Amino acid sequence: MSVFKDNWNGYDGKRWRVSLRYTDWQGKKKQHDKRGFETKKDALAYERDFLAKKSKDINMGFGVFIDVYLSDIKPQIKLNTYRTKVHIINTHIRPYFEEKSLSEISPTDILQWQNELLSKRDENDKGYAQTYLRTLQNQLTAILNHAVRYYDLAKNPCSKGKKMGKAKAKEMLFWTKDEYTKFADVIKDKPISYYAFEILYWTGVRMSEMLALERGDINLEKRTLKIDKQVQRIDGIEYTTTPKTDKGNRAIELPEFLCNELEDYFGMIYKIDEHTRLFNITKSYLHHEMDRGSKAAGVKRIRIHDLRHSACAALIELGFSPVQIAERLGHESATITMRYAHLYPSVQRTMADKLNDMFHDESDFEDDDESEESEE
């Protein structure tokens, strides 16, 4: 019998114990013990879930499978990404499906879960943002896809229904060059702020990448900026990690004026060497400076990440291809870059004007042909 009362000294038969043998994924026999269950029911439930987990049984509880899923993916993703997933799952997914077994979740269950999230409102009667709802949908879909791919679940119940939320926001904010220039002029009173925002706007690097920059990452002679790391803060502790994506490792060519500015900035840093961090500031400091500068300059307040959108939009306006821009910004693919193509409203009018010019050029050519024929 694998479940029995525990007569160990600390329990004196008042607690239940699970002691069982099982076969692991390599076909080896293993022993497993777990003490301290208050009731036999709790011990039996633990035994059932443990064996289901080890045997890849799709009848395991969904809550148990979530733990399996998180254990499987943790070594393959960055710590911040993992923690975000855990928060989303534990807040919005686990509570709703935990009591069901993995195999019994149906498209109807998915629909009811969606409806519950869609109906939630805060104290101001606002619901979740459409992009956040899509994030929640994608996470549940990913969990169930994992079950299909690795644990023989027959079909993902999410595949039958409609996706919740929207993939992108209705409006993507950005600054034009004129708006940025106004902002930059009013934050020049703090050099560290000014040069940090100059790099963000003119290179389009991520804030986490900019915060990790060292003197040795910038070659003024070759006019290049090397990105091979980022700064992340987890539980109040700062870590330096690899870039967000593989394409994040890159070298960015710098405009000459920015090199000249950075040379001036390096001269302001005390005892600078190749390993000196250029910007010993925090994200909250930059957010405060964004508030201060936007208000003083009289420009709309955008997010710091929107400076990356601004850089992308400016390069599109200059005529560079999505592939070229994706390489500079460290996007995984040009498809991501194409999301920004709508940011400059003048582009559509320019396209229409060029088509108009093309039409008139061809009309003029036809008129010339006709006049030549009549002369003959």
Pairwise CA distance, residues 318 & 276, whole Å: 34
CB neighbour list of residue 226: distance below 8 Å, 6 or more residues apart: 217, 218, 219, 250, 251, 252
Q: Which CATH number fits domain 177-338: 3.40.50.880, 3.90.1150.10, 3.50.50.60, 1.10.443.10?
A: 1.10.443.10
Orientation of helix 306-317 relative to helix 191-203, angle to 10°: 50
Nearest to 209 by CA among 329, 314, 81: 329
How big is the CA angle at 106 (ends 104 and 110), to the nearest 5 degrees? 130
Domains 56-170 and 177-338 share a fold: no
Pairwise CA distance, residues 176 & 182, whole Å: 10
- From first to last of its 376 residues, the chain has per-residue pLDDT tens of 587 777 776 666 678 888 888 776 556 777 888 888 888 888 887 777 777 666 666 778 898 899 989 999 999 888 888 999 999 999 999 999 988 988 889 999 999 999 999 999 988 889 998 989 999 999 999 999 999 998 888 899 999 889 999 877 556 788 989 999 999 999 999 999 999 999 999 999 999 999 999 999 999 999 999 999 999 887 778 888 888 777 788 999 999 999 999 999 999 999 999 999 999 999 999 999 999 999 999 999 999 999 998 888 888 888 787 788 888 888 776 566 566 655 555 555 665 677 777 767 655 544 555 444 433 3
Q: Please give the pLDDT value at position 336.
A: 60
Q: Please give the pLDDT value at position 152.
A: 83
Nearest to 65 by CA among 126, 143, 160: 143
Domain regions of the chain by residue span: 1-55, 56-170, 177-338, 345-376
Residue 68 tokens read as: 């399996």
pTM of the model: 0.65
Owner of token pair 């148990």? 64
Q: Please give the pLDDT value at position 31.
A: 81
Q: What are the beta bridge partners of residue 234?
A: 237
Give the largest CA-CA distance in the chain.
118
Q: Is the Cα dihedral 66, 69, 75, 79 positive or negative?
A: negative
The CATH fold of domain 56-170: DNA polymerase; domain 1 (1.10.150)
Residue 10 tokens read as: 């600390």
How many residues can be counted in the chain?
Answer: 376
